[in-house]
Structure 1
Amino acid sequence: MPTTRRPLLRAGLATLLAAPLATPALRRARAAAITFAHQDMVTPMRAGIADGSLARAAGAEIAWRKFAGGADVLRAMASGDVQIGEMGSSPIATAASQGMDVQLFWILDDIADAEQLVARNASGIADVAGLRGRTVAVPFVSTAHYQLAYVLEKAGLRPRDLRLLNMRPPEIAAAWTRGDIDAAFVWDPVLARLKQDGRVLVSAGDIARQGRPTFDGIVVQRRWAEANRPFMAALVKAIAARDAAYRAGPAAWTPESPEVQAVARVTGAAAADVPAALAAYRFPTLAEQASDAWLGGGAARALADTAAFLKEQGRVPAVAPDYGRFVTAEYVRAAAAG
Structure 2
Amino acid sequence: MKFSNLKSIAGKVVGSLKLLALPPSNLWLKSLSLIALLGVSSLSWAAKEVTIGYQGMYNPMKYVIDKQLVEKNTGYTVKWRKFDSGAKAITAMAAGAVDLTVAGSSPIASAASNGVDMQLIWVMENIADAEALVVRNDSGISSPADLKGKKIGVPFVSTTHFHMLFALEQFGLTEKDVKLINMQPNAIMAAWQRGDIDGAYIWDPALGKIKQTGKVLLSSKLLSSWGKPTFDGLIANTEFARQNSEFVAQLLSQIAKADREYQQAKESFNANNPIAVSVAKLSGSQPDDVVEAMSLYEFLDVDTQLSCQWLGCGEKGGAVKALKATSEFLLKEKKISALKPDYSVFVNPTYAEKAKAEL
TM-score between both structures, scaled by the size of structure 1: 0.91
**Partner secondary structure for residue 43 of structure 1:** coil
Cα pair 2:262 2:275 within 8 Å, conserved: no
Is 1:148 matched up with 2:148? no
Is 1:57 matched up with 2:73? yes
**Given the superposition, is the C-alpha separation of residues 25 and 261 from structure 1 closer, same or farther in structure 2, using an over 3 Å criterion?**
farther
Is 1:123 matched up with 2:143? no
Which residue is equivalent to 1:164?
Answer: 180
Which sections of structure 1, spanning at least 5 residues, go unmatched? 1-16
Q: How far apart, in 2, do the equivalents of 1:291 and 1:149 lie?
A: 29
Which residue is equivalent to 2:46?
Answer: 28
Q: How far apart, in 2, do the equivalents of 1:313 and 1:25 lie?
A: 45
TM-score between both structures, scaled by the size of structure 2: 0.86
Shift of 1:25: 6.2
The one-character-per-residue Cα deviations of 1:76-123 (angstroms, maximum 9, x if unpaired) are 111111000011000000000001110000000000111000000011
Cα pair 2:105 2:323 within 8 Å, conserved: yes
**Partner secondary structure for residue 342 of structure 2:** coil
Q: How far apart, in 1, do the equivalents of 2:70 and 2:294 lie?
A: 19
Shift of 1:24: 6.7
Q: How far apart, in 1, do the equivalents of 2:44 and 2:287 lie?
A: 35
**Partner secondary structure for residue 76 of structure 1:** helix
Which residue is equivalent to 2:310?
Answer: 294
The worse-fitting range, judged by mean Cα deviation, of 152-161 and 102-111 is 152-161
Is 1:319 matched up with 2:335? no
Shift of 1:335: 1.1
Q: How far apart, in 1, do the equivalents of 2:324 and 2:190 lie?
A: 34
Shift of 1:269: 2.1
The worse-fitting range, judged by mean Cα deviation, of 210-219 and 149-158 is 149-158
Cα pair 1:26 1:60 within 8 Å, conserved: no
Which sections of structure 2, spanning at least 5 residues, go unmatched? 6-39
Runs of 4+ in 1 over 3 A off after TM superposition: 22-26
Larger RCO (CA under 8 A, 6+ residues apart): 1
**Partner secondary structure for residue 249 of structure 2:** helix
Is 1:277 matched up with 2:277? no
Q: How much is the aligned-residue C-alpha RMSD, in angstroms?
A: 1.6
The one-character-per-residue Cα deviations of 1:5-42 (angstroms, maximum 9, x if unpaired) are xxxxxxxxxxxx9xxxx987653233xx3110100000
Q: How far apart, in 2, do the equivalents of 1:110 and 1:259 lie?
A: 19
Which residue is equivalent to 1:47?
Answer: 63
**Given the superposition, is the C-alpha separation of residues 331 and 316 from structure 1 closer, same or farther in structure 2, using an over 3 Å criterion?**
same
Which residue is equivalent to 2:325?
Answer: 305
Shift of 1:276: 1.1
The residue correspondences of 1:230-245 to structure 2 (distance < 5 A) are 230-245=246-261
Q: How far apart, in 1, do the equivalents of 2:176 and 2:207 lie?
A: 25
The one-character-per-residue Cα deviations of 1:125-155 (angstroms, maximum 9, x if unpaired) are 0011111011101000001000100111111
Q: How far apart, in 1, do the equivalents of 2:45 and 2:156 lie?
A: 38
Larger Rg: 2
Q: How far apart, in 2, do the equivalents of 1:169 and 1:159 lie?
A: 20
Which residue is equivalent to 1:214?
Answer: 230
Q: How far apart, in 1, do the equivalents of 2:133 and 2:254 lie?
A: 33
Which residue is equivalent to 2:102?
Answer: 86
Which residue is equivalent to 2:263?
Answer: 247
The worse-fitting range, judged by mean Cα deviation, of 209-218 and 269-278 is 269-278
Alignment identity in percent?
41
Higher normalized helix content (fraction of residues): 2
**Partner secondary structure for residue 68 of structure 1:** coil
